[in-house]
Structure 1
Amino acid sequence: MNSPDPDASLIALEAIPDGGFAEVEAVVDGDAESLILHRDGGAVRAWLNVCPHAGRRLDWSPGQFLKSKDGLLVCAAHGASFELVNGECVAGPCRGEALHAVRVDVKDGAITLGMNGEA
């Protein structure tokens, strides 16, 4: 399991617009990973930046994510659509699967990797 420095900031909360996304790199379970961060007010959810359908990144350009008019995260490669609470795929080729959640915490305006890195 991951043993992050609890004070090591991934990104400042204010760097992500409310309702928006950011991509950051972090070490999760000993591997360097790309993470998707989604801000909802003062809360942040994170997932590995890997679509369960084909194992590709979800961003269409580094750090640029598609959001549907219904508020779903959309995979740029094959159009799979994920809800933003649990990362569940609700439409597209991986319906019923989910993004791999990673625990993050917000402390003093900074987003940090949560203990164990697991949601």
Structure 2
Amino acid sequence: MSLTRRLCRLEDIRDGEARGFPPGPGGFTGLVAVRRGDAVHVYVNSCPHIGIPLESLPDRFLDGPRRHLVCTAHGARFRVEDGFCVAGPCAGDSLEAVEVRIEDGAVLVPEDAGL
């Protein structure tokens, strides 16, 4: 799968923070990106429990200590590094990971990611 969609610039996501991205044209699900230093982890913004977006307010994806992504609907917690659910009704499931590459400061994902 080619990484042809430019999601944003690396500096558009503050280190230790997360940012949501709406679905592309005709898409149903957006993406969430979490930055850890020079690494970015990207997931489809859909809780594996019932398929709803993780955040209830824009860009509010992380818990207080910024250690886990959280589904605000029911409190499920997911590891940032691999999207694995460590607590909540979908414990043992995972968020859908999206292939990501940083190239010349741009965060690139597949064209069809989150559609």
TM-score class, shorter-chain normalisation, is 0.7 to 0.9
Q: How many residues align?
A: 112
State yes or no: 1:110 paired with 2:96. no
Give the Cα separation in 2 of the matches to 1:60 and 1:31.
Answer: 19
Query: Counterpart in 2 of 1:62?
Result: 58
**Is the strand fraction higher in 1 or 2?**
1
SS in 1 for 2:82: coil
> CA RMSD for the aligned pairs?
2.3
Where does residue 51 of structure 1 map in the other structure? Answer: 47
Asked if residue 18 in structure 1 is aligned to residue 29 in structure 2, the reply is no
Distance 2:23 2:99 in 1: 12
Higher relative contact order at CA 8 Å, sep ≥6: structure 1 or structure 2? 2
Taking structure 2 as the reference length, what is the TM-score of the superposition?
0.84
Q: How does 1:90-101 map to 2 (within 5 A)?
A: 90-101=86-97
**Other structure's SS at 2:100 match:** strand
Q: Indicate which of 78, 93, 97 corresponds to 2:74.
A: 78
Unaligned runs of 5+ in 2: none
